[in-house]
Structures are given as structure tokens and as C-alpha cells.
């Protein structure tokens, strides 16, 4: 019987935490991308990654990692 109460308690805590999770903000940002913060520039980290990969290729000769 104590296992049933333990399982019910864990389920209750899980549902309480899931209900308070900020999923709605993320869902709104995905559904309405124009409503998301437009100050985030995703191109900059990608460009930096390409720069680093080019440096590694140059350093290694044939571009082998």
C-alpha cells in the first residue's frame, strides 16, 4: 500500500511541476516567431563556428579533423 501512495505522490508532484513549466511561452514563440524577441542574432554563432572549422582545416592541412 505504501508503494501506491509513493507512486501517487510522485505523480502528483510531476503534474504540479508540469503545470508550472513555462511551456506556453515557448509554444507561443514557435507558433508566432514574429512575436519572439527579435534582438537574438543566430547567424553570429554559426559564423563563428565556421571560422573555427576553417582554422582547424587550415592547421591540419587537408582539412582532416
pLDDT one-digit tens code per residue, 23-36 = 767 676 667 656 55
Does the pTM of the predicted model rise above 0.95? no
26 domain-assigned: yes
22 domain-assigned: yes
**Average predicted confidence (pLDDT) for the chain:** 78
Summarize the chain as % helix, strand, coil (round to 5).
75, 0, 25
* Percent of all residues in the chain with a pLDDT value above 90, rounded to a whole number: 18
Three-class SS state of 42: coil
Cβ atoms of 56 and 65 closer than 8 Å: yes
Structural domain that includes position 41:
2-60
pLDDT of residue 37: 56
25 domain-assigned: yes
49 domain-assigned: yes
Q: How many domains does the chain fold into?
A: 1
Cβ atoms of 8 and 14 closer than 8 Å: no
C-alpha cell at position 11: 505523480
65 domain-assigned: no
Most confident of 1-10, 38-47, 55-64: 1-10
Amino acid at each position: 500500500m505504501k508503494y501506491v501512495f509513493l507512486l501517487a505522490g510522485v505523480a502528483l508532484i510531476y503534474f504540479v511541476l508540469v503545470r508550472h513549466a513555462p511551456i506556453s511561452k515557448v509554444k507561443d514563440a514557435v507558433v508566432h516567431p514574429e512575436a519572439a524577441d527579435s534582438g537574438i542574432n543566430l547567424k553570429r554563432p554559426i559564423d563563428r563556428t565556421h571560422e573555427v572549422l576553417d582554422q582547424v582545416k587550415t592547421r591540419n592541412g587537408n582539412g582532416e579533423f
